[in-house]
């Protein structure tokens, strides 16, 4: 029987999200969630029936048109028009793994029962998720305030039989996919279009994806860095707990402990050294990796709050008998965290590239460029160029998006977060850092082979053996692109 994750009011953790995605759980609504959705929908329509005044987005226009009253007979057309007019995305398509997360997080947010949507609308989004139907969402178009309007419009267009989707590897008009499953297009009711495209699920999906990846990269950076330290014949003293107790940042303490444990039992680390100190890229791993850990932890708390929140507008409170128009769609908390996370992950790549540079420099008994006959062979020389190029791009991508704002909607929406741009930049950064760590790993394993017959620690020898099973020693020049790609693949599969 398939694993099922029930959407409910239970607190959603990053670990749960990762399990649901990696173990390919199907989604279903809990009875509690169904009750909340139906209760809110019924309350809203009772309220509309007795309302004489204006309720934003329900019987009014949107944004700067909020003062335009809409006749009751046009309320459904209003929502359809909203969905179509806001589908203004452009640029590259969002990757499938992000779109799948968008579906999950939108379903979760609607299930709290403060949005006024039909039950069948939420269930259709669940159908898309469970059958791997990925609406085509474009990366450009969201200001990260008033929600991720354009991306979410594209995400939800297929509910109406509009837009395009990927299904089983093919790009199809959504109407054809609806026909395949004998699904009728959803007819949007009052408030429903606004509930679907007002929210932060584009930013949140990118945030969750990159957070999960950042946590993995942080662990990999420690292990690859420890291997480089040993291959460079580095010193263990800078990782002594006494040093870190007197400057007890949590990430710093954790990193020093991890590196000590990783190098336990190494023949190289305990032998007498000729040098008194190591370069900062080795000696200061606890301080640098640790600071990134703390930043990742902070971003994690922000996104945990966000994915357990309701972020559309207006919000409906059946128990309190009120509908309130506010600003929960504003992405400023996410934009700041996304920018911070990009800096933290870039630094993991930046210090990694420096360790690679030290390894190829012909220092401490290692041959220049980690090849037996330098000159005739260039060895690993250009792998460092590649890492430097990637790190430079990541540094450029760290220019904060969250400090920018361009007013929109006739200055009604006069301050925006630009969090969507922060999100898509961060996606590039995490993949860049993964490539840089893969290059360092390739260099570190090669350098270690020049220390033989000395052994590093049992943990790291296991890593090296698994790596060498996929990527052999470089004795003479060969096309290193293939080694780099295999090294990246290795980071995906090896348990760090």
Q: How many angstroms separate the CA atoms of 57 and 50, rounded?
A: 17
**Average pLDDT for the chain:** 94
Alpha carbon dihedral 203, 206, 208, 209, in 10-degree steps, equals: 170
DSSP letter for 160, please.
G
Identify the pLDDT of residue 65: 60
Residue-range domain boundaries for the chain: 4-199, 206-493
Mean pLDDT score, 228-240 = 98
Q: Pick the catalytic residue from 56, 129, 206, 209.
A: 56
188-192, 223-227, 246-250: which has the minimum mean pLDDT?
Answer: 188-192
Q: Is the pLDDT of residue 152 over 60?
A: yes
Mean pLDDT score, 303-324 = 95
Tokens for 244? 């870190």
Identify the pLDDT of residue 476: 94
Q: Is 56 a catalytic residue?
A: yes
Tell me the percentage of the chain whose pLDDT exceeds 70: 95
Q: What is the pLDDT of residues 379-406, one digit of tens each?
A: 999 999 999 999 999 999 999 999 999 9
Identify the pLDDT of residue 67: 64
Mean pLDDT score, 305-309 = 97
Name the architecture of domain 4-199. Orthogonal Bundle (1.10)
65-74, 216-225, 243-252, 369-378: which has the minimum mean pLDDT?
Answer: 65-74
Identify the pLDDT of residue 180: 96
Mean pLDDT score, 315-322 = 95
Q: What is the pLDDT of residues 102-144, one digit of tens each?
A: 999 999 999 999 999 999 999 999 999 999 999 999 999 999 9
Identify the pLDDT of residue 49: 77
Q: How many angstroms separate the CA atoms of 38 and 72, rounded?
A: 21
Three-state secondary structure call for residue 25: coil
Q: pLDDT band at 60, cuts 50/70/90?
A: low
Q: Is the pLDDT of residue 73 over 90?
A: no
Identify the pLDDT of residue 372: 87
Are residues 353 and 388 in contact, defined by beta-carbon separation less than 8 angstroms? yes
Identify the pLDDT of residue 407: 87
The fold of 206-493 is Fumarase C; Chain A, domain 2 (1.20.200)
Q: Do domains 4-199 and 206-493 have the same CATH topology?
A: no
Q: What is the pLDDT of residues 21-46, one digit of tens each?
A: 999 999 999 999 999 999 999 999 88
Identify the pLDDT of residue 57: 61
pTM of the model: 0.95
């Amino acid at each position: 029987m398939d694993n099922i994750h029930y959407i409910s009011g239970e607190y959603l953790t990053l670990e749960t999200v990762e399990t649901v995605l990696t173990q390919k759980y199907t989604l279903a609504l809990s009875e509690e969630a169904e009750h909340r959705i139906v209760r809110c929908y019924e309350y809203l329509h009772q309220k509309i029936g007795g309302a004489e005044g204006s309720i934003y987005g329900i019987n009014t226009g949107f944004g700067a048109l909020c003062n335009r009253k809409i006749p009751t007979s046009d309320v459904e057309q209003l929502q359809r028009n909203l969905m179509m007019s806001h589908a203004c995305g452009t640029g590259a398509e969002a990757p499938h793994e992000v779109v799948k997360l968008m579906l999950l997080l939108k379903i979760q947010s609607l299930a709290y029962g403060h949005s006024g949507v039909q039950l069948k609308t939420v269930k259709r989004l669940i159908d898309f998720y469970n059958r791997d139907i990925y609406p085509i969402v474009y990366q450009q178009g969201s200001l990260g305030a008033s929600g991720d309007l354009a991306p979410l419009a594209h995400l939800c267009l297929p509910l109406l039989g509009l837009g395009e989707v990927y299904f089983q590897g093919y790009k199809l008009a959504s109407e054809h996919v609806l026909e395949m499953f004998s699904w009728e297009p959803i007819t949007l009711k009052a408030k429903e279009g606004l509930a679907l495209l007002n929210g932060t699920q584009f930013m949140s999906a990118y945030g969750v994806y990159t957070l999960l990846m950042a946590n993995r990269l942080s662990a990999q950076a420690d292990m690859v860095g420890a291997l480089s330290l040993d291959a460079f014949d580095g010193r263990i003293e800078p990782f002594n707990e006494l040093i870190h107790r007197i400057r007890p940042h949590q990430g710093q303490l954790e990193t020093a402990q991890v590196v000590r444990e990783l190098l336990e039992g190494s023949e190289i680390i305990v032998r007498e050294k000729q040098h008194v100190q190591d370069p900062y890229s080795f000696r200061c791993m606890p301080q640098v990796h640790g600071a990134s850990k703390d930043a990742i932890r902070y971003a994690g708390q922000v996104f945990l709050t966000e994915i357990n929140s309701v972020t559309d507008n207006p919000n409906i409170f059946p128990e309190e008998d009120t509908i309130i128009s506010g600003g929960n769609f504003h992405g400023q908390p996410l934009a700041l965290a996304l920018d911070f996370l990009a800096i933290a992950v870039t630094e993991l790549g930046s210090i990694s590239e420096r360790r690679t540079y030290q390894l190829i420099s012909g220092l401490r008994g290692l041959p220049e460029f980690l090849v037996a006959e330098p000159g005739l062979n260039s060895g690993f020389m250009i792998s460092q160029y590649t890492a430097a190029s990637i790190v430079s791009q990541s540094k450029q991508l760290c220019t904060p998006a969250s400090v920018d704002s361009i007013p929109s909607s006739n200055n009604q929406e006069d301050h925006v977060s630009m969090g969507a741009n922060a999100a898509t930049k961060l996606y590039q950064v995490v993949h860049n850092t993964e490539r840089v760590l893969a290059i360092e790993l390739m260099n570190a394993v090669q350098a270690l082979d020049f220390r033989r017959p000395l052994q590093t620690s049992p943990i790291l020898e296991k890593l090296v053996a698994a790596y060498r099973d996929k990527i052999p020693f470089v004795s003479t020049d060969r096309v290193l692109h293939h080694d780099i790609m295999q090294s990246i693949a290795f980071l995906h599969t090896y348990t760090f």
